[in-house]
Amino acid sequence: MGETLVSTMTTFDTTPEALGDLLRSVQNGRTQLPDFQRGWVWDDAHIRSLLASVSLSYPVGAIMMLQAGGEDVRFKTRSVEGVKPEGLRAPERLILDGQQRLTSLYQALLSGAAVETRDSRGNPMKRWYYVDINKALSPHHDREDAIVSIPENRKLLNFRGEETADYSTLEREVVAGLLPLRLMFDTDGLMRWQMAYLQAEPAHIQARLATWSHLMTEVIQRVQQYQVPLIMLRKETPKDAVCQVFEKVNTGGVALTVFELLTATYAATDFDLRNDWNSRLLKLKKHKVLANIESTEFLQAVTLLATYARRKKSLSVGTSTDAAPGISCKRKDILRLTLEDYKAWADTATSGLFRAATLLYDQNIFSARDIPYRTQLIPLAAIFATLGERADTDGVLTKLTRWYWCGVFGELYGGALETRFARDLAEVVAWVEGGAEPSTIIDANFAPARLLSLRTRNSAAYKGLAVLLLRDGGRDFRTGFSIDAQIYDDENIDIHHIFPKAWCKQQGIEPSRYDSVVNKTPLSAKTNRIIGGNAPSTYLARLQKSADISDERMGELLKSHVIELARLRSDDFKGFFEARELALLQRIEKAMGKKLAAHMTEVDVGPLEVVATEEDDTGDELG
């Protein structure tokens, strides 16, 4: 056998295992796959290369497995592709890394069926694999050249569809000198093939015997005696460690989500998490602001509620604050979410998301694209779910709205967030119940100079400012409509330049100013087309004439966007910019419910470095 690591700190064992024993354990179900393993097929070239390496006793990498039967790790399992399910036993171990190698080797060497693979273009096909005896024993050929793949019917055709070779019988295989690799662990079948090979040319039996002996040494015994390095994770390994290990070693390069792991865990008790989530998602997507919510985010909300309830229950029976379980929704906490926890809190979390959507609509956020931080929906949903009917009052909703905007303009939801989510839930609920202001409000700060660097939708505060202008009564320059959900969709509202980009370039104005959010506001697509690349004085006259808007009314419409009519009439970009910058900062202060630092003048800020930014995705092609 091999060496077993005995250190008390070691969570795995290493030992080689005979390839034949390993493949037979796949066949009888002793070795299976956890259900979260994605099924995909190696192409023909990969399989031939793998078989060539094994036939030369070259290493093909270690296989990593997990002992089945652990208390913390219970996954739904499935057999390796190609294994007939009849008579399968309960698995003793699960493949974490090496699925493709084991699947390819099992199908090619032991399954007795053609291997399901793909050609170089990705087209599915079935192939049998052979060793070309003469090439395998020739010093002038690479071993990969000696591994031959043949179509499922074991006949070769040319480009006109004419048959050029037929290997469909043992006799024809022998004549061609092609030994089927499917016989490597079939003692009786290999013996029959050997006898047929030796007797094919009675006059040269000694020469053929010598060739066969050479083949046994150089190919057959190398395959039959091949040892595969095996790394075995012990069944005590926690689920989050299994997930981490899988992602680090998974040769498919596709990250494993906690949702997939939890789906496999719950499936072991016949609960289909994926179907449950899909049915919830259909309902959630009826709200446009929830259209992009992801399964892992939903699980974070559920885990927040479950851990909050667990902590609250522990504190209620006298457990000290330090000893009580914490509130958390980190990856490891989601993976520890029991099916009972999920069933207890999934509906509540769903309801919390619906109510969070209502608050967003009230703030004039009408689409998922316009949400400053989708991640902020997670604690918001958990807060609504925890407060229940207590959140149905103006006083509580005012507090939640202030917390929301502090998160947006404090730009607090763009990094590692799980710790903040947990604090939000505990602190905002306590604040509603008469406690201190939550950390998100205390921590939030918006530096006035930040306005100059907000240029695209990549910034949460950029989208937040556009939403604030609509919420606080911003009307379209042409129609005079206030923007509700219906108008938002019908008029194709988006964020556009006020002093058009083309005009600003002609005047030599710096991009750092004309592309900043100070020079942008939400308008309809038709209004933006009328604006075009014209000077404000020109497009205002055109707007007023085409829409029959009086000077007084035009002033009111611009004022709803904190724009001074006189500055646009005189094409005064500098005066417009300074006045609107201050007005926008005042809007931000009002939304956050706290004073910002004194407005920084141009002298205070100094010249801004013009940096390359992504093309503004606001659709402002003309303005």
pLDDT digits (tens, 9 = 90+) for 215-270: 999 999 999 999 999 988 887 776 666 666 665 555 454 556 788 878 877 877 78
CB atoms within 10 A of CB 139: 4
> Residue 172 and residue 13: Cα distance in Å, rounded?
46
Inform me whether the pLDDT recorded for 610 exceeds 50.
no
Give me the DSSP letters along 515-555: TSGGGEEEE-HHHHHHHTT--HHHHHHHHHHHHT--HHHHH
pLDDT score for 484: 73
Per-residue confidence (pLDDT) for residue 606, from 0 to 100: 35
DSSP-assigned letter for residue 164: E
For 460, list phi and psi in degrees, rounded to 5. Answer: -65, -40
Of the candidates 251, 225, 178, which has an alpha carbon nearest to the alpha carbon of residue 56? 225
Indicate if the pLDDT at residue 23 is higher than 70. Answer: yes
Longest CA span, the chain: 114
Q: Please, what is the Cα angle at 471 between 466 and 475, to 5 degrees?
A: 80
pLDDT tops 80 at residue 600: no
Q: Is the CB of residue 307 less than 8 Å from the CB of residue 314?
A: no
CB of 521 closer than 8 Å to CB of 496: yes
Q: Taking the C-alpha atoms of 67, 72, 78 and 80 in order, what is their torsion angle to the nearest 10 degrees?
A: -30
| Distances in whole angstroms, Cα of residue 172 to Cα of each of 135, 145, 157, 168, 445 | 18, 20, 16, 7, 81
CB proximity list for 335: less than 8 A, separation 6 or greater: 239, 240, 243, 258, 261, 262, 265
Partners of 494 in the beta sheet?
523
Residue 156's DSSP bridge partners are: 165
Read off the pTM: 0.71
Long-range contacts of range 274-278, CB-CB < 8 Å, 24 or more positions apart? Answer: 276/346
The mean per-residue pLDDT over the stretch 24-34 comes to: 91
Distance between CA 35 and CA 247 in Å, rounded? Answer: 15
d(CA 287, CA 366): 9
- Based on its alpha-carbon atoms, the radius of gyration of the chain, rounded to whole angstroms, reads 34
132's tokens: 């070309």
Mean pLDDT rounded to a whole number for the chain: 87
The reported pLDDT for the residue numbered 264 is 76
pLDDT, tens digit (0-9, with 9 covering 90-100), for 169-224: 999 999 999 999 999 999 999 999 999 999 998 889 999 999 999 999 999 999 99
Q: Which of 79-88, 343-352, 473-482 has the highest mean pLDDT?
A: 343-352
Give phi and psi for 447, each to the nearest 5.
Answer: -75, 130
